[in-house]
Amino acid sequence: MPRPKILLTRRWPSAVETVLSERFDATFNLEDLPMSTDAIADALRAYDAVLPTVSDKLPASVFAGGAIRTRILGNFGVGYNHIDIAAAKAQGIAVTNTPGVLTDCTADIAMLLLLSVARRGGEGERQIRAGEWKGWCPTHMIGTKVSGKTVGIIGFGRIGKAFAQRCHFGFGMDVVFYNRSTVDPAEAARYGARQLSTVEDVLTAADFVSLHCPGGAENRHLMNTARFSAMKPGAYLINTARGDVVDEAALIAALERGVIRGAGLDVYEAEPHVPDRLRALENVVLLPHLGSATEETRNAMGMKVVDNITDFFDGREPPDRVA
């Protein structure tokens, strides 16, 4: 039996690429440039498995037109809103993701953003690098205290829980959250958190609002003009989830007008494009989608994909099947 032909749309950690090339007839994207939608559509006709990332777009159109060879999309990442799951499913294509292994690192990045924006870490760094620091004084670059404040979490899945744990047990914060389904209060209490009934309840209670829900149609623009207005004046938004959960234009307007005090962002609506008006604001901390970007986590994500496609081609149920 010939080995399954697989395509990685981007370069992956070399240890993972090595395992993949031992087990499969693997093609690597040696230039590591994002593939066009047309190139991905062609790949679906040429490979048994395509292994995409968040930098790829797989709308319904790539699955249309027949002659599909791909049987599994082994996504490198937990979020898969860049894939039209219904269209993949309609073609009988399995889809897997990489949950669990990036929980801690993504929660860490949310904490980094929260601390940086509240304590003006980015501004301070820029000031020193520009040679503009005039020395210590009692009124210099005054931020907002974090310890003991209230954090509001939208989406209480693995990453939301890990973030709650850090906020409550690390920083003595009161943690409230909104989640679509009801979470057992005893389970919530393990993370020092309690559930509120609506997004609005969370927004009106929180000094910091952090998004941890999936992207895609169901949560598109969950944070909009009305919801920024519902936040406490002086509150901050943290987004490590997906750019499309936030109406970016509404966020920029809220920041410019002082409706909210600041934002810490790791994700954007049209990555890698970050609007000039957002980049011009001092009261935002901007990271280039670094949530899972540690050696340990990227290796573990890759190995999860290896496990998923190995099980699939060996006729077993892949552990992280989402479709």
Q: Work out how close the CB of 309 gets to ligand 8YV at its nearest, in angstroms, rounded to a whole number.
A: 15
Adjacent-strand bridge partners of 74: 96
Closest by Cα among 136, 152, 161 to 203? 152
Instruction: Give the DSSP letter of residue 81.
Output: T
- CB neighbours (10 Å) of residue 102? 25
Q: Work out how close the CB of 54 gets to ligand 8YV at its nearest, in angstroms, rounded to a whole number.
A: 4
Instruction: Name the catalytic one among 242, 248, 269, 298.
Output: 242
Instruction: Give the DSSP letter of residue 33.
Output: P
Q: Work out how close the CB of 79 gets to ligand 8YV at its nearest, in angstroms, rounded to a whole number.
A: 3
CA torsion 314-320-322-323 (nearest 10°) is: 0
| Catalytic site includes residue 298 | no
Contacts of 42 by beta carbon, 8 Å cutoff, 6+ apart: none
Tell me whether residue 102 or residue 285 sits nearer to ligand 8YV (CB atom): 102
Residue 311 carries which side chain, given as an amino acid letter? D
Given the rule CB under 6 A, which residues bind ligand 8YV? 53-54, 76-79, 102, 291-292
Instruction: Name the catalytic one among 82, 212, 227, 289.
Output: 289
Tell me whether residue 79 or residue 192 sits nearer to ligand 8YV (CB atom): 79
Q: Work out how close the CB of 285 gets to ligand 8YV at its nearest, in angstroms, rounded to a whole number.
A: 17
Q: What are the strands, taking DSSP E only, across the chain?
A: 5-8, 25-27, 49-51, 72-74, 94-96, 150-154, 174-178, 193-195, 208-211, 236-239, 262-265, 284-286
Q: Work out how close the CB of 246 gets to ligand 8YV at its nearest, in angstroms, rounded to a whole number.
A: 14
Tell me whether residue 53 or residue 224 sits nearer to ligand 8YV (CB atom): 53
| Catalytic site includes residue 187 | no
In whole angstroms, give the CA distance from residue 178 to residue 246: 16
Q: Name the residue number minimizing CB distance to ligand 8YV.
A: 77
Instruction: Name the catalytic one among 17, 71, 221, 271.
Output: 271
* 255: its two tokens: 């920041």
CA torsion 104-110-113-118 (nearest 10°) is: -120
Tell me whether residue 29 or residue 225 sits nearer to ligand 8YV (CB atom): 29
* 101: its two tokens: 């292994």
| Catalytic site includes residue 317 | no
Residue located via tokens 């009161």: 174
Tell me whether residue 53 or residue 165 sits nearer to ligand 8YV (CB atom): 53
Active-site residue numbers?
242, 271, 289
